[in-house]
A = this chain, B = another copy of it.
């Protein structure tokens, strides 16, 4: 089953408002063409906001295909949110890979983090969003994780607006507390992961001063993107 993304449309609301005809975006319309769908064919839609919908193809057009909603299925919210604040890697394909895999496995927000040792200076969030959309569709998820604009680690550390459990992981043989043993169930969680050169001592101290709990992700020495994915898997495993 192929999943189509109705960007900018709240399927649940549209359906209940009686607006049952939807024009797909250019990208998705192109997909309809490529899949050789015909009027009358059934398709599955997601709005990336947590809702699936069944629909029937009304009109096939390479730029503006039209579908007609037949039913909607609002997915239940998970009782926890996973925020991963991860320094972009020098090689951007490693970061894109992380975004793809985290979306597949389950993440709610990815925050690119500028750190003292960051070697990269710019990041195209729109490219990461495309990766996230493709991974959402591929793994048949109803919710598109948020890829935030990059923030400095200090801005992230000073954000007191959230009520979540906060962890920081870096390469340090003296940290023996494994994330799996302290990760709470059914609670929002943020994990910070540093760049290739890791967090600076100043950053680690600032995080610990603000209550972030230092955690280990296992005995292996992991690259940035692998550590971030390991944290994502551990939190999902604990909650599943």
By a beta-carbon cutoff of 8 Å, the part of chain A in contact with chain B is 97, 101, 104-106, 138-141, 178, 180, 218-223, 226, 229-230, 233-234, 236-237, 240
Contact between A104 and B237, CB atoms less than 8 A apart? no
The complex is assembled from copies of this chain, and their number is 2
The smallest C-beta distance from A203 to any residue of chain B, in angstroms, reads 22
Contact between B138 and A230, CB atoms less than 8 A apart? no
Contact between B139 and A220, CB atoms less than 8 A apart? yes
Contact between B226 and A105, CB atoms less than 8 A apart? yes
Residues of B within 8 A of A101 (CB): 226, 229
Q: Which one of B97, B106, B139, B233 lies within 8 Å of A97 (CB-CB)?
A: B97
Contact between A218 and B230, CB atoms less than 8 A apart? no
Contact between B97 and A223, CB atoms less than 8 A apart? no
Contact between B234 and A218, CB atoms less than 8 A apart? no
The smallest C-beta distance from A81 to any residue of chain B, in angstroms, reads 16
Complex: A104 Cα to B221 Cα, angstroms: 7
Complex: A236 Cα to B230 Cα, angstroms: 11
Cβ-closest chain B residue relative to A103: B220
Complex: A83 Cα to B240 Cα, angstroms: 24
Cβ-closest chain B residue relative to A171: B140
Cβ-closest chain B residue relative to A138: B223
Residues of B within 8 A of A141 (CB): 220
Contact between A236 and B222, CB atoms less than 8 A apart? no
Cβ-closest chain B residue relative to A141: B220
Contact between B236 and A105, CB atoms less than 8 A apart? no
Complex: A180 Cα to B239 Cα, angstroms: 12
Complex: A220 Cα to B220 Cα, angstroms: 25
Complex: A178 Cα to B230 Cα, angstroms: 18
Contact between B218 and A236, CB atoms less than 8 A apart? yes
Contact between B104 and A220, CB atoms less than 8 A apart? yes
Complex: A93 Cα to B189 Cα, angstroms: 32
The smallest C-beta distance from A165 to any residue of chain B, in angstroms, reads 18
Contact between B237 and A237, CB atoms less than 8 A apart? yes
Complex: A220 Cα to B178 Cα, angstroms: 24
Task: List the 9 shortest-distance A-B pairs measured between CB atoms, nearest first.
Answer: A139-B221, A233-B233, A104-B226, A140-B221, A218-B240, A106-B220, A105-B220, A101-B226, A104-B222
